[in-house]
Amino acid sequence: MSKPVILAENISKQYQLGEMEPYVALRDVIAKSLNPKKWFTNKESHRETFWALKDINFSIEKGEVIGLIGSNGAGKSTLLKVLSRITSPTTGKITLRGRVASLLEVGTGFHPELTGRENVFLNGAVLGMTKREISKKFDEIVEFAEVEKFLDTPVKRYSSGMRVRLAFAVAAHLEPEILLVDEVLAVGDTQFQKKCLGKMDEVTKEDGRTIIFVSHNMGAIQSLCKSCVVLNQGKIVTIADTDKAVQEYLRLTNSQESGTGPFDTKIKNFTIEQIRLSQMQYSKPLITELLVTNNTDKELNNIRVGIQIFNSQLARIMTVTAKIDAIPKGKHKLEISAEDTNLPPGNYSISLGLGLLDTGIFYRPQLLFFEMQPTSVIDPFIVSRRDVLGSCPPTDYKITQLS
Amino acid sequence: MKETIILPKRSWLRIDFREMLQYKDLFYFLALRDVKVRYKQTAIGILWAFFVPIISMVIFTVFFGNLAQIDSSGAPYPIFVYVGLVFWLFFSQALSSASGSLVSDQEMIKKIYFPRLILPSSTVIVAFIDFLIASSILCAMMFYYQFVPKPISLFLIPILILITYFTSLGMGLFLSAVNVKYRDVRYIIPFFIQMLLFLTPVIYPAKIAGEKYQWILNLNPMSGVIENARAIIIGNTPINLESLAMSIGISILLFIVGLFYFRKTEQKFADVV
C-alpha cells in the first residue's frame, strides 16, 4: 500500500486572544519597559487562549476527495490554513506528498489597476504556477472565464461577476497534486458555480488529484466527495462516508436549538416566540406550531406563512403555505398542518417566512432541523431507503385476475 | 515526489532555496506589478522618476551649494549632490517600500502561502528601476560637465549597488516584520529616513566629520557608498577602501540581522497582521 498523500498527526492550533486584536502599539511596549514594576510580570501568561484546533489526526490517500464540514467556528478554515502553511500549527506534524495549492479565496492578489491579462499572470504566480504554465493555459483560462473582450481593461472596471469568473478560471487550471479549497463557490452565479463544480469533478477523475473541500453547500459536498471529516469546536467528530457525515453534521447543528425565539418581525410588537414541529412521522400530517405574540393595538389580518422544507442535501423539496385570516391581540398558538407531505424518514430542515399581504415581514433560513420518524406500521421498504430525497407517497396496489 | 513536512517551529537558517527558485516567477510578477501600478493614473506617469531626483538636486544646489556654500571638494555642486542623491533615493525608497510591503499585501499573506521573503525583496526592484532612470540623468550630467569615470567604476559601481541593496533590504526585512505587529513603524519610517539623510554625506562631503570622527559616519553603510561613488564618478577624491570595507561589513550584518528577525517572526505573520 502506498503512503498517504496527507498525513496529519496530533495537529493543534492555539490562538492567543490578544493576538487577534488588530495590532499592538509600540508605545505600550515602550511604556511597559520603562516601568520597572512591570518588568517581572509576564503579560503573556495572563492572556486568554483558545484552541482553534485540538488533536486532529487523519490521513488521506491519493485521489481522494474529502469534504470538510462543520458549523461556523468549527475550525475548518484554520485547518486549511495550517495544511496550506499559511500559519503554523502549535503542535503536531503534517506530511504532505506532492505539490500543494490552496484556494482559500478567489482572486488573491488581484490588483484593480492591472488589466485582466496582467492579473491572470499575477494571480497564477501567486497560486504557485510558473510563467510557462500560465502562458500555456492562458487561452483556456480566458475562454473558461468568458472575458475575451475585456482582457486589456483594468480589472477595476470589471463587474464583480466577471472578476470572480476570471479569478476562478485561473484557479481551476492549477495542476497541483493536492488542492485545498475553501468555500470559494459561494460567490458567482449558479450557472458558473455548476461549471466550476463540473471542472473540479473532471480534474479529479482524470488526474487522480487529492482534494480537501470546505463547503456549507451539502449538495456540492455530496456530489463531489466520497467521504467527509466533520469538525466541531476544533475537534474531529467523525470521519465517515459523505452521507453519514452529512447526517452527523445536521444532527450537530440540530442540537443547537435554533427554533427558539423570540424573533422580531418587521411589524413592531409582533413577535414569533417559538417554532416547533410536532408529529414528525411518515405518512402522517406534518404539524408546525408557531407561538406568536401580537402586542400591537389591533388584530392582524391576512398573514401569510411560508414554510420551506429542505432535505439533507439542503435542497428545497417542499413549500407549505397558509393564509391566516386574523391574529387577534395577545399570545397565540398557531398550528399549521400539512397533509400528505409524504416525507420519508430522514433529516430535514426548514426555513420560515411570514408576509402581510404581499410584503415580507419575516424570513429566517435554516431555522430548524428535524428528523422524520418512521411510523410503526411503516412499509419496511422505505425505512431501508433513507436516501430517498423527495417525497415518497405511500402506495397501494391492486392485482386483478384477468382470465 | 515532493514531500513537505510541516512542524510547529522551523529553523530560520534552513531557507528552502529550491522553493524560492520555484517561486521566482512570483517575484518577477510582483515586481512587475509594482512597476506597472506605480505611475498608473498619474498625469505625467514615468516622468515622476525623473522629476524627483532633478527637483531635489535643484533645491539642494540652491540652498546648500549656492547659499550655504557647502564644500563639494572642488566639483560642481549639482553633480556632487546628484551622485549622493541617486544612491540615497535608491536606499530610502527601497527601505520605505520594503518596510510597508507585508502590511500592504496582508490579504495575500492571510490567504495563501508563498515564501514571505519574496514580498519585501521584490519591492526593492522598483526602487532599483527608479535608480536606473535617475542614473541616466547622471550620465547626461557627466557628459555636460565632461567627467570621465575611472575604469575601475565598472567593477566598483555594482558593488556599491549591492551594498545599497542589502542594506535597504536588511533594514526593510526587519522593519517590515516589526510593522506586522507594531503599526507605529509606518509613522517612524518617514521620520527615520529624514534623520538619516542628515547622517549621510549626501549634501555635504564625507570628510566633514574630520579624520577623528570619520568612523562614526562610516557606521552608516550609505556613507561609504556615497563617498566612494563620488570618488569613482567625479574623481576629485581618492577611493576610501576603509569606508568601503566597513560599508560591506555593516550591510552584511544588517542583512543577516534583518533576515534572522524576519525568519523568526514569519510564521506568525498570518495570525498577527
Question: Comparing C-alpha atoms, which of A394, A77, A385, A390 is closest to residue A231?
Answer: A77
Under the banding of pLDDT at 50, 70 and 90, the label for residue A1 is low
Tell me how far apart the alpha carbons of residues A68 and A53 are, in angstroms, rounded to a whole number: 14
Strand partners, A15: A50
Q: What is the ipTM of this complex?
A: 0.86
- Which of B2, B33, B267 is the closest to A111 by Cβ? B33
- pLDDT attached to residue A372: 78
Chain-chain contact of A108 with B37 (C-beta, under 8 angstroms): no
- Domains of chain A, start order: 6-254 (3.40.50.300), 260-383 (2.70.50.60)
| Test mutation, B111, B186, B272, chain A, max A CBs within 10 A | B111
A86 interfacial to chain B (CB closer than 8 Å):
yes
Q: What is the mean pLDDT of chain A?
A: 81
Query: Is residue A391 exposed (0-12), middle (13-18) or buried (19+ Cβ within 10 Å)?
Result: middle
- pLDDT attached to residue A123: 92
Q: Are B38 and B133 in contact (CB under 8 A)?
A: no
- pLDDT attached to residue A160: 80
- pLDDT attached to residue A260: 67
* Residue A313 or A403, more confident: A403
Pairing of the two strands A210-214 and A178-181: parallel
- pLDDT attached to residue A276: 83
A102 interfacial to chain B (CB closer than 8 Å):
yes
* B250-256 mean pLDDT: 96
Tell me the three cell numbers of residue A338: 400539512
In what helix (H) or strand (E) does residue B3 lie, and over which residues does it extend? strand B3-6
Tell me how far apart the alpha carbons of residues A383 and A385 are, in angstroms, rounded to a whole number: 5
Q: Are A5 and A96 in contact (CB under 8 A)?
A: yes
- pLDDT attached to residue A190: 63
pLDDT at A42 over 80: no
- pLDDT attached to residue A377: 52
The model's pLDDT over A258-272, given as tens digits with 9 standing for 90+, comes to 566 678 888 888 888
Tell me how far apart the alpha carbons of residues B169 and B121 are, in angstroms, rounded to a whole number: 7
Q: Is B68 helix (H, G, I), strand (E, B) or coil?
A: coil
Chain A, nearest residue to B36 by Cα: A114
* Residue A39 or B56, more confident: B56
Chain A, nearest residue to B106 by Cα: A109
* Residue B193 or B1, more confident: B193
A175 interfacial to chain B (CB closer than 8 Å):
no
pLDDT at A257 over 50: no
Nearest chain B Cα distance for residue A211, angstroms: 16
Chain B, nearest residue to A97 by Cα: B3
What are residue A236's phi and psi, to 5 degrees? Answer: -80, 125
Q: Are A170 and B112 in contact (CB under 8 A)?
A: no
Under the banding of pLDDT at 50, 70 and 90, the label for residue A95 is very high
* B180-188 mean pLDDT: 88
Which of the listed ranges A204-208, B148-152, B185-189 does the model predict with the highest average pLDDT? B185-189
Chain-chain contact of A26 with B9 (C-beta, under 8 angstroms): no
Under the banding of pLDDT at 50, 70 and 90, the label for residue A388 is low
Strand partners, A359: A356
Chain-chain contact of B36 with A26 (C-beta, under 8 angstroms): no
Chain A, nearest residue to B105 by Cα: A109
The model's pLDDT over A60-80, given as tens digits with 9 standing for 90+, comes to 988 888 999 888 788 898 999
* B115-136 mean pLDDT: 92
For residue A363, the Cα-to-chain-centroid distance in whole angstroms is 19
Question: Comparing C-alpha atoms, which of A260, A250, A199, A249 is closest to residue A224?
Answer: A199
A105-119, A241-255, B166-180: segment of lowest average pLDDT: A241-255
Under the banding of pLDDT at 50, 70 and 90, the label for residue A39 is low
Q: Are B53 and B90 in contact (CB under 8 A)?
A: no
pLDDT at A387 over 80: no
The model's pLDDT over A141-186, given as tens digits with 9 standing for 90+, comes to 999 888 889 999 999 998 888 888 888 888 878 888 888 888 766 5
